[in-house]
């Protein structure tokens, strides 16, 4: 049963991180489009959904998240500032 819970928690953390990153990329792209065509009034983007908190004693989930963030940074999806912010959020949880 603990293995199942660990798997479910890891999936929830990865899904939450992916959602937050996807929302951030969408907002950044919308901002670029808005700069190109300032025809429509800009509406504020909804705040990103909070990522589920990782269990305190499950260090492997944190390591997995950090590896995924590193890959996203290498791919150019995350800026250095976004990477640092997400990294500190993961380490603080």
| DSSP per residue, 11-36 | HHHHHHHHHHHHHHHHHHHHHHHHHH
pLDDT of the residue at 49: 63
List the end-to-end C-alpha distance of the chain, in Å, as a whole number: 23
pLDDT (tens digit per residue) in 17-68: 878 888 888 888 888 877 776 555 556 666 666 666 545 557 888 888 888 8
The pTM score is 0.39
């Amino acid at each position: 049963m603990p293995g199942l819970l660990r798997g479910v928690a890891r999936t929830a953390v990865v899904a939450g991180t992916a959602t937050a990153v996807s929302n951030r990329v969408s907002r950044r792209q919308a901002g670029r489009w808005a700069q190109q065509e300032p025809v429509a009034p800009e509406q504020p983007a909804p705040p990103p959904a909070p990522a589920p908190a990782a269990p305190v004693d499950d260090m492997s989930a944190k390591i997995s998240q950090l590896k995924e963030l590193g890959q996203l940074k290498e791919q150019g999806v995350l800026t250095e500032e976004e990477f640092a912010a997400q990294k500190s959020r993961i380490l603080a949880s």
